[in-house]
Structure 1
Amino acid sequence: MQPLILPVLLASLWTVCTRAGDWCYQSQFTCDHQCNGPDKWNHANSNCGGKYQSPINIVTRKTLTDERLTPFQFNNYQQIFRGTIKNNGHTVVVGVPHLSTISGGGLPSTYKAVQFHLHWGKNGGPGSEHTIDGEQYPMELHIVHMKSQYNDLTTALADQEGVAVLGFFYEKSNSANRKYDPIINSLRSIKATNTNTSLLSISLTQLIPSEQNLTAYYRYKGSLTTPGCTEAVIWTLFENPIPLSMDQLRVFSELKFHDGNPMVETFRPVQPLNGRQVFRSGSAVILASSALLIATIATALGLSQPN
């Protein structure tokens, strides 16, 4: 019986090490900081073990065109506001006045903006939550909206289509994106968890690509990507990424978790589709078809040239 003692002891130590109360990202988990990593989020909230969870990997060749996915109507997105940006221990979040709304785009209702937050990697490394054909971008922006008739997110989340999130990817750029200066500059003041600072005047429009570059997107139904993981979210993920320089991306990694360690790799791993269909806007398919048509014509012209 003695040879069994060591394996049993190691197993019990592993159980102690992985026992936790609060949820955390994988980058936070250590035996000194015992928390529920992403594979144990269902211990923190049972909804996280649901069937239709987010984020997901979008396999573009398996997406279907949905002609109802027309361009969005963005109302008051250009509205200037002075918000508060907070390090909440998991990300940075900015509350948005409920004046900016989205409609169209195949949505069943008008939705008003509530807040936006970000997910990132480590010093500009892979950090987006959603992936496209397995590619993970450096960072992802989520602008969270709720149906216009609701006054708070808790109520909206009780509706299976109560929340609509617009997701945007970031790409590395050789030059800084000056439209992001208000956010980047404020991060140095909120490195510690539960600190906040006033944000200089900003608008949602300045954070995202121009409206004419927002016609190509993906759509699916899923969940919040943090506990409680409520499955009440209509997801829209735009193809065109937002440029940020490496220096700008690195500033996010200077933020701190509550234990003082760098706030890095703040993303949930992709979740199973479990039979869900991902749709693609007609504009995205038209763009792809146009590119294919141009390539075909170019090839035909090339073949028709005399040797």
Structure 2
Amino acid sequence: MDFALHLSTLLSVLTHCSAQWCYKSQYSCDNTCRDPSRWPGLFPDCGGLRQSPINIVTNHVQANHSLSPLTFYGHHNILNITVENMGHSAHFSLPSSVQVSGGGLAGRYRAIQFHLHWGVDAGPGSEHTVDGEHYPMELHIVHIKEPYNSLEEAEHDKSGIALLAFLFEESNDDHHHYNSLIEALGRVQNNGNQSTVPGFRLCDIIPPSHDLHDYYRYVGSMTTPGCEQAVVWTLFHRTIPVSNRQLVSVAQQAQFWTGQPMTGIFRPVQPLNGRTVYRSATSPVQPGLITVWLYVLQSVLGRALA
């Protein structure tokens, strides 16, 4: 009986492990986890028609004048937040006082967490691409629509989740506010580890709000299983500068649930399937247009004075 019990337990563990999802960077002949190409077999929504991330083709984007600047709440609040190794990434918790509204969103949305996606050795690591270009890292800030109390509740609403995304670019200098986040990742090396980041302000790690009027908008999904198609995506034009040292270091801190280094944590881009990608219409007027308008104004004034 004991042997049968142990055998049953072993088979259960093996079955559970083989059913785990993973990133392409984790998959090997010795690991039976399901990489992104096989996620739909375990999670049907991952094969849906509104999946994320996507490649944004700027020539096909449509301007939308209803996409006004967003309004941010609680971004300057000083917080003590928790970071947890989730086995596939690390989530930094945010209180419900951090919120966003406007910008064509369906009401006010409360933040629950943010996380990063990165590659290896400062190589490609973003989930979204722009005209086929990968960026070295991407930040996602996850919000749920009021009055939902959890991500699970919001996932049943096609616009229940608002995700703010920021792309990173390599710079010569460190972004000093990211050092504390990198250090925090080093304190949660293993699956389930938790740590605290004291004195945190969200406004310190993203561009100032007056630089966030220009963005892309589309409807999509979560980028990890179950890939729930309930997300309104906002991808900002303004990138976040970090140094090569920081990009290399961020991928050296934590481990996957398998014990492997946590690198290459991004899902490949998914088919657009007829969706429209919009761009906010609040961008500054292009210099060429200014020149044209000055010429017209001079002509009109010239006739009036003649």
- What's the TM-score once normalised by structure 2's chain length? 0.87
The letter for the 1-side match of 2:85 is N
The letter for the 2-side match of 1:267 is F
Cα shift at 1:181: 2.5
Alignment partner of 1:268 is 2:267? yes
Q: Unaligned 5+ residue runs, structure 1?
A: 1-18, 298-307
SS in 2 for 1:124: coil
**Contact 1:222/1:233 (<8 A) preserved:** yes
SS in 1 for 2:232: strand
One of 121, 124, 127 as aligned partner of 2:119: 121
**Contact 1:182/1:200 (<8 A) preserved:** no
- Structure 1 window deviating more from structure 2 (185-194 vs 172-181): it is 185-194
The letter for the 1-side match of 2:233 is W
Q: Which whole-Å deviations, capped at 9, do the CAs of 1:109-136 have from their partners, x for residues lacking one?
A: 1101110011101021100000000011
**Contact 1:187/1:251 (<8 A) preserved:** no
Cα shift at 1:179: 1.6
Give the distance between the partners of 2:291 and 2:188, measured in 1 at CA. 49
The letter for the 1-side match of 2:264 is E
Q: Which whole-Å deviations, capped at 9, do the CAs of 1:170-209 have from their partners, x for residues lacking one?
A: 1111111112222122122122222121112111111100
Alignment partner of 1:257 is 2:256? yes
Cα shift at 1:293: 3.5
Report the RMSD for the aligned CA atoms in angstroms. 1.6
User: Percent identical across equivalent pairs?
Assistant: 45
One of 162, 167, 170 as aligned partner of 1:169: 167
- Structure 1 window deviating more from structure 2 (242-251 vs 137-146): it is 242-251
Correspondence for 1:277: 276
The letter for the 2-side match of 1:65 is A
Correspondence for 1:52: 50
Correspondence for 2:215: 217
One of 127, 137, 142 as aligned partner of 2:140: 142
One of 223, 229, 239 as aligned partner of 1:231: 229
- What's the TM-score once normalised by structure 1's chain length? 0.87
Q: Unaligned 5+ residue runs, structure 2?
A: 1-16, 294-306
Cα shift at 1:260: 2.3
Cα shift at 1:20: 3.4
Runs of at least 4 residues off by over 4 Å = 294-297
Correspondence for 1:81: 79
Q: How many residues align?
A: 276
Q: Which whole-Å deviations, capped at 9, do the CAs of 1:9-29 have from their partners, x for residues lacking one?
A: xxxxxxxxxx93111100000
Cα shift at 1:296: 8.0
- Structure 1 window deviating more from structure 2 (176-185 vs 208-217): it is 176-185
